[in-house]
């Protein structure tokens, strides 16, 4: 509701990574909510046609700024006069230095520019639920905002998640040192049209056959529209400064249920169900061989990552519902149906 928002609709809002999978939907919701001054920081001019179309069909004044967050000058320009920053840009490189540079260093540059702006009322940092450690959580235990953040990303062999965790650390540092008004949003597995992939939390296709790992696990999904609206509300709602929100949809499907529907509605392929404990033991053997080979075989399959992705936890979206007033607009069944239609169309284009 309008009186719950920290800014007016005419205040300037910055979206980094606005032409990304989630960023474009954040842009769409801000337009829908009636915000009239938007600045979109993009690294390249690709995928801008739909954003231009939405901007042209609205009354919003939209600035598309092609820049690089590693450039302090670009950050100063991007942050000038803004009231809210939605920071969705992140490093997606497959190396630790690359992700540190394009997530952590880029975020620090943006924050240095942001804290100089007297107009800034909130910085919304987009993280990931993958930053949590579930080492101390039993199978079937609840993973929520109170859980510990992992510190062993090198052992997990996960540059992207390492970059996200470092990004969070920097935001907390600036909140302490510079009184930065912030909210951290940690989406779960974001899915929907535009992202043509079955999440690894269901299984992997590394060995030429699909291995369905932990088939009875609930998959922590959030449909892209639902996720984007939660992010928008995290920037607007009063009284949530310094909070962390995990974003999960309702009615999360089990991996085997999702895969069964996918095969029926998109395409059929061979898959083998692998119990979690069997895969955990395989990861143990892989680590042993990696150590024996002195790293010639990288430990890409390891017990730390296995636990995070396939141990099988319960998930709660209660905090986001209560404090943000968020409800998933798109029910899980409808979201999956939209995704299956999209994937079926993608498969048809291959032939």
From the list 236, 235, 234, the residue with the least C-alpha distance to 321 is 234
Question: Where are the chain's structural domains?
Answer: 7-192+220-250+313-330
SS3 category, 236: helix
Tokens of 204: 């992997």
Report the b/e string of 80-90 with b at 16+ CB within 10 A.
eebbbbbbbbb
- The two beta strands, 203-204 and 314-315, are unpaired
First-last CA distance in the chain: 48
Measure the CA angle with vertex 321, ends 241 and 198; round to 5°: 105
**How is residue 125 annotated by DSSP?**
E
From the list 321, 327, 316, 324, the residue with the least C-alpha distance to 145 is 316
Report the topology of domain 7-192+220-250+313-330.
Rossmann fold (3.40.50)
How big is the chain by its Cα radius of gyration, in Å?
20
pLDDT tens sequence for the chain (351 residues): 446 899 999 999 999 999 999 999 999 999 999 999 999 999 888 778 899 999 999 989 999 999 999 999 999 999 999 999 999 998 777 788 888 898 999 999 999 999 998 899 999 999 999 999 998 899 999 999 999 999 888 888 888 999 999 999 999 999 999 999 999 999 999 999 999 999 999 999 987 899 999 999 999 999 999 999 999 999 999 999 999 999 999 999 999 999 999 999 999 999 999 999 999 999 999 999 999 998 888 889 999 999 999 999 999 999 999 999 999 999 999 999 999 999 999 998 887
**How is residue 87 annotated by DSSP?**
E
């Amino acid at each position: 509701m309008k009186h719950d928002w920290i800014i007016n609709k005419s205040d300037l809002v910055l979206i980094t990574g606005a032409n990304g999978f989630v960023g474009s939907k954040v842009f769409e919701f801000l337009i829908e909510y009636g915000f009239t001054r938007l600045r979109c920081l993009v690294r390249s001019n690709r995928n801008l046609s739909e954003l231009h179309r939405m901007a042209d069909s609205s009354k919003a004044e939209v600035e598309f700024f092609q820049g690089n967050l590693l450039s302090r000058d670009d950050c100063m320009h991007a942050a000038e006069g803004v009231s809210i920053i939605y920071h969705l840009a992140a490093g997606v490189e497959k190396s630790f230095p690359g992700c540190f540079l394009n997530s952590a260093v880029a975020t620090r540059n943006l924050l240095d520019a942001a804290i100089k702006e007297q107009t800034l009322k909130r910085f919304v940092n987009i993280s990931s639920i993958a930053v949590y450690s579930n080492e101390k959580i039993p199978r079937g235990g609840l993973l929520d905002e109170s859980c510990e953040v992992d510190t062993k990303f090198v052992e997990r062999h996960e540059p992207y998640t390492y970059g996200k965790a470092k990004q969070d650390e920097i935001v907390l540092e600036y909140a302490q040192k510079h009184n930065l008004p912030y909210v951290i949003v940690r989406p779960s597995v974001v899915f929907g049209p535009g992202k043509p992939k079955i999440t690894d939390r269901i299984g992997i296709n590394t060995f030429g056959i699909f291995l369905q790992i932990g088939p009875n696990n609930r998959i922590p999904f959030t449909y892209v529209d639902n996720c984007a609206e939660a992010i928008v509300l995290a920037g607007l709602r009063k009284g949530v400064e310094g909070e962390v929100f995990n974003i999960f949809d309702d009615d999360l499907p089990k991996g085997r249920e999702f895969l069964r529907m996918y095969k029926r509605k998109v395409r059929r392929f061979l898959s083998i169900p692998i119990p979690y404990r069997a895969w955990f033991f395989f990861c143990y053997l892989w680590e042993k061989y990696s150590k024996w080979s002195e790293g010639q075989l990288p430990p890409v399959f390891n017990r730390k990552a296995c636990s995070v992705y396939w141990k099988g936890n319960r998930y709660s979206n209660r905090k986001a519902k209560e404090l943000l007033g968020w409800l998933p607009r798109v029910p899980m069944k409808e979201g999956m149906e939209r995704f299956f239609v999209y994937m079926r169309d993608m498969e048809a284009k291959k032939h």
